[in-house]
């Protein structure tokens, strides 16, 4: 988990250096069955592309990577009985279903939880009609069982370039002719590449339908520098248009079947032009020029959607900043993407108080053009929704997204925007439910600081070397159990336990600061008062040290008597303290905590373990005592850490933070 808070600053790069993902997949696949060694340069090794590369290697291709280039030695003797792990990549699964069927080998196709939910029957059934033996198996996408293929005429049942490509790849190995007929032409990268590389392929229009025919043949080896991705470029174009900037983005694939996003914006008033057009492996490549424009409501036809399905969420994001009623036809396919992208669009619209509706086919967005800042957007772990959330946050002035899966398709996304967030995080064990990511991104939005905040779960017995490596890889880290004392020792801190470390700052604990400020906020009279402390860990030690500055007399209780004694000896605390006015517990709910008695003299209790049940809390509430929650301590100590890492003063805005948290049902 890694949340990112954005401000309104960005600096667009002219050359985004993100190879077109569709071409990259296909270039590697065709190189793996070519008649010699191929070289591919300007490769973006996104997670999806790496999934395809690893799968081709499993099938027998030899792929040598140097920098952003690769040399591919084709499959000589296909390996059988292999597992093809497609990760999150639908392109990998569907295209390689065609290739594996053609190779006639046995392979089990698997993927992540998201991919397993996506429709695969659309590609399996056409391949079966060519003779492919494919079965469904629980826990996998499907299983190819080998067998020989024969040509057939396949009429497309869905508008899918992936299905078409799978059929054409299988057709390269089939006896006779394989023909694929589409009602509406989808992106044609596979047929363009096959034709350019000498495969036996023909395209035509029959009775208004687009037809591609292929016969058994083998593509020639090739050398290519891949152009940049128009889908990736679209996010920079959107930012330029919404901010009123002029930019030129170079070396971009401008295949007409990929220009739906740009065609829609042109009709909406965007001043976009393409220059320096040339051809790479049969594909049109050029520079996209953006001029300052005034945009009117957006309308995307079914044809536009077919030519830009992945950019529809981005167009809907832009629509939120444009006053009017916006229409997107035939977008039902979005429901079957990495997440239900229609629901994701509805979520973004709802968060910024705009209207969005979907009738099962068509999407409508109604906006007044006024988008509030400082909102948090769910990404549903979808890379394109995450990038839309980033655009929305930046143009709004501030905002955050709850995960950053950019590596799936566009690892250089933030670099292309000139955005380099401070890398902050939390290390510990069993910390996935921590509220620190929400808190730190809230502080960042309030302060106008761009930063990421991630959760780093480590095993308690992680090596010192690995622990130090993780610490060094972050600009700033919060440290929680069981590492507070250990990190203090490794960093030679002047205090026994730390919870805040970072580049250029002295390792320290802000627990005591957080405790004192939360007690003061509730008007608790603790100065010079007797207190009972439950626990002897890092937080307890830091708070005891701080409370001594306020003249408090404290007795320590702990399940392990030796640890309590060590804490007493370290700070010279008494063995007995009578009639405490407060009981402060720094341990989670457990049998020991349940068995503790709450003295009649207590006026308040402090519970650090705010995420779970506490017997002490229950006893205090039953008596009507003041209960101070560790949630507040967490906030106040977090503000200190944020200030140290960013050099930015933080104003006390606990009420605003609490409202922000409640808005998203975190507590």
Give the residue numbers annotated as catalytic, written as ranges.
Answer: 310
Q: How many helices (H) and strands (E) does the chain have?
A: 24, 31
Contacts of 604 by beta carbon, 8 Å cutoff, 6+ apart: 519, 522, 524, 526, 581, 582, 620, 625, 626, 627, 628
Backbone angles phi and psi of 575, in degrees to 5: -75, -30
Distances in Å between the alpha carbon of 370 and those of 56, 311, 373? 48, 22, 10
Contacts of 561 by beta carbon, 8 Å cutoff, 6+ apart: none
HEC string of 567-627 equals: HHHHHCCCCCCCCCCEEEECCCCCHHHHCCCCCCCCCEEEECCCCCCCHHHHHHHHCCCEE
- What sign results for the dihedral spanned by CA atoms 515, 517, 522, 523? positive
Q: Judge contact between 288 and 252, C-beta under 8 A.
A: yes
Which residue is associated with the tokens 């990268």?
189
Instruction: Detail the DSSP E strand segments found in 162-229.
Output: 177-182, 201-206, 209-215, 223-225
CA gap 313, 384 in Å, rounded: 8
Residue 179's nearest CA partner among 126, 250, 122 is 126
* 190: exposed, middle or buried (Cβ count in 10 Å: 0-12, 13-18, 19+): buried
Distances in Å between the alpha carbon of 16 and those of 24, 187, 250, 334? 15, 22, 8, 26
| Structure tokens, 267 | 């009709």
CA gap 583, 627 in Å, rounded: 10
CA gap 24, 3 in Å, rounded: 29
Which residue is associated with the tokens 């027998």?
60
CA gap 472, 502 in Å, rounded: 8
Q: Judge contact between 39 and 45, C-beta under 8 A.
A: no
Which residue is associated with the tokens 């089939």?
174
| Structure tokens, 397 | 């002035």
SS3 519: helix
Backbone angles phi and psi of 12, in degrees to 5: -70, 135
Instruction: Detail the DSSP E strand segments found in 240-342.
Output: 247-253, 271-280, 283-291, 299-300, 324-328
Q: Judge contact between 413 and 387, C-beta under 8 A.
A: yes
Contacts of 497 by beta carbon, 8 Å cutoff, 6+ apart: 484, 485, 488, 509, 537, 538, 539, 541, 542
Residue 74's nearest CA partner among 106, 22, 30 is 30
Question: Dihedral angle at the C-alpha atoms of 320, 322, 323, 327, nearest 10 degrees?
Answer: -70
Which residue is associated with the tokens 């500055």?
549
Which residue is associated with the tokens 């009623």?
325
CA gap 500, 479 in Å, rounded: 6
Q: Judge contact between 149 and 173, C-beta under 8 A.
A: yes
CA gap 546, 207 in Å, rounded: 83
């Amino acid at each position: 988990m890694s949340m990112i808070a954005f401000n309104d600053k960005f600096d667009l790069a002219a050359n985004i250096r993100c190879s077109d993902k569709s071409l990259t997949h296909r270039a590697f696949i065709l190189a793996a069955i070519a008649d010699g060694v191929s070289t591919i340069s300007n490769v973006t090794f996104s997670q999806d592309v790496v999934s395809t590369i690893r799968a081709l290697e499993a099938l027998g291709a030899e792929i040598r990577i140097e920098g952003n280039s690769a040399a591919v030695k084709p499959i000589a003797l296909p390996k059988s009985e292999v597992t093809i792990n497609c990760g999150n990549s639908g392109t990998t699964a569907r295209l390689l279903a065609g290739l594996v069927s053609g190779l006639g080998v046995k392979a089990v196709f698997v993927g992540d939880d998201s991919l397993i939910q996506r429709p695969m029957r659309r590609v399996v059934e056409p391949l079966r009609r060519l003779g492919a033996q494919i079965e469904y198996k629980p826990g996998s996408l499907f299983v190819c069982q080998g067998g020989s293929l024969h040509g057939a005429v396949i009429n497309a049942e869905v508008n899918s370039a992936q299905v078409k490509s799978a059929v054409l790849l299988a057709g390269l190995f089939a006896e006779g002719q394989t023909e694929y007929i589409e009602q509406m032409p989808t992106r044609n990268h596979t047929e363009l590449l096959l034709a350019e590389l000498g495969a036996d392929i023909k395209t035509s229009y029959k009775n208004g339908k687009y037809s591609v025919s292929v016969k058994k043949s083998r593509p020639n080896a090739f050398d290519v520098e891949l152009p940049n991705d128009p889908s990736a470029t679209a996010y920079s174009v959107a930012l330029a248009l919404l901010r009123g900037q002029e930019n030129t983005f170079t070396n971009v694939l401008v295949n007409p079947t990929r220009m739906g996003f740009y065609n829609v914006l042109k009709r909406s008033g965007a001043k976009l032009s393409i220059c320096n057009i040339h051809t790479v492996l049969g594909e049109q490549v050029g520079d996209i020029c953006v001029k300052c424009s005034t945009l009117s409501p957006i309308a995307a036809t079914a044809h536009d959607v077919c030519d830009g399905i992945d950019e529809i969420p981005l167009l809907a994001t832009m629509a939120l900043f444009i006053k009017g009623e916006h229409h997107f036809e035939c977008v039902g396919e979005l429901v079957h993407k990495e997440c239900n992208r229609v629901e994701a669009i509805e979520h973004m619209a709802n968060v910024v108080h705009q209207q969005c509706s979907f009738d099962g086919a068509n999407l409508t967005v109604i906006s007044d053009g006024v988008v509030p800042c400082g909102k948090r957007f769910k990404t549903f772990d979808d890379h394109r929704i995450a990038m839309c959330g980033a655009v929305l946050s930046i143009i709004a002035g501030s905002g955050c997204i709850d995960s950053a899966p950019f590596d799936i398709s566009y690892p250089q996304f933030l670099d292309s925007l000139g955005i380099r967030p401070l890398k902050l995080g939390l290390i510990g064990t069993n910390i996935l439910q921590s509220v620190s990511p929400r808190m730190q991104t809230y502080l960042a939005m309030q302060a106008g600081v761009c930063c990421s905040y991630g959760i780093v779960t480590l095993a308690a017995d992680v090596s010192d070397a690995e622990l130090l490596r993780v610490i060094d890889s972050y600009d700033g880290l919060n440290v929680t159990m069981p590492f507070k004392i250990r990190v203090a020792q490794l960093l030679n801190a002047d205090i026994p336990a730390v919870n805040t470390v970072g580049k250029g700052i002295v390792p320290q604990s802000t627990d005591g600061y957080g405790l004192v400020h939360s007690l003061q906020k509730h008007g608790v009279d603790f100065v010079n008062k007797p207190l009972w402390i439950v626990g002897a860990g890092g937080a307890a030690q830091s708070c005891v040290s701080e409370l001594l500055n306020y003249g408090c007399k404290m007795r320590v209780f702990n399940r392990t008597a030796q640890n309590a004694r060590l804490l007493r000896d370290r700070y010279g605390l008494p063995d007995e303290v009578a009639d405490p006015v407060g009981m402060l517990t720094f341990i989670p709910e457990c049998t020991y905590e349940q068995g503790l008695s709450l003295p009649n003299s207590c006026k308040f209790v402090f519970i650090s373990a705010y995420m779970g049940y506490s017997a002490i809390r229950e006893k205090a509430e039953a008596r009507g005592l003041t209960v101070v929650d560790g949630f507040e301590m967490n906030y106040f100590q977090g503000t200190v850490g944020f200030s140290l890492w960013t050099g930015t003063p933080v104003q006390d805005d606990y009420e605003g933070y609490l409202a922000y948290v409640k808005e998203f049902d975190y507590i």
